């Protein structure tokens, strides 16, 4: 999977690694992820979601 280039189906162009901003519970954080240079659609791989995103979410989900 890491070797393949991912393309955006709408724009038919390769995704590029970019900084992506996330917002959750009024806080923002960022991570690098594959993003379409044309339409901005982001591809979130499993490892990112289960890893960094989940970590930050749980930190913010305080009582």
Partner 1 sequence: MTRRSVLEDWIIRETGCRSREALDRWQLAQLREALDRAKARSPFYREHLASVRPEEITSLGALDRLPFTTADQLRADPRRWLCCGAAEVERIVTLKTSGTTAAPKRVFFRREDQERTVDFFAHGMGELVSPGDRVLILMPGQQPGSVGDLLKRALERVGVSAVPGGPVTNIAASYDLLRTSGCGCVVGIPVQVLGLAEYGARLPSGQRARLNSVLLSADAAHPALIHRIRTRMGCEVFNHFGMTEMGFGVAVECSVHQGCHLRENHILAEVVDPKTGARLPEGQPGELVFTTLDRRAMPFLRYRTGDLGVLLPGPCPCGSFLRRILPQGGRLADRGRLWALDGVLLACPGVVDYSVRETPEGPALTLYGVVPPDPEEARQRLEQAGYAAPKHIDAQVITGFSGTGMQKRSLPERSV
The residues binding partner 1 (CB under 8 A) are 25-26, 57-63
Question: Closest distance between partner 1 and the C-beta of residue 44, in Å?
Answer: 14
Question: Closest distance between partner 1 and the C-beta of residue 40, in Å?
Answer: 21
**What are the tokens at 58?**
């749980």
Residues 35/11, Cβ–Cβ less than 8 Å: no
- Which residues have C-beta within 8 Å of that of residue 23, sequence separation ≥ 6? none
52: buried, middle or exposed (CB in 10 Å: 19+, 13-18, 0-12)? middle
Cβ proximity to partner 1: between 16 and 55 the closer is 55
Cβ proximity to partner 1: between 24 and 30 the closer is 24
Cβ proximity to partner 1: between 16 and 59 the closer is 59
């Amino acid at each position: 999977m890491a070797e393949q280039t991912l393309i955006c189906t709408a724009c038919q162009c390769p995704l590029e690694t970019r900084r992506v901003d996330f917002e959750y519970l009024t806080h923002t954080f960022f991570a690098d992820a594959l993003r379409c240079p044309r339409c901005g659609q982001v591809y979130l791989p499993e490892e990112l979601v289960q890893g960094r995103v989940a970590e930050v979410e749980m930190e913010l989900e305080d009582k």
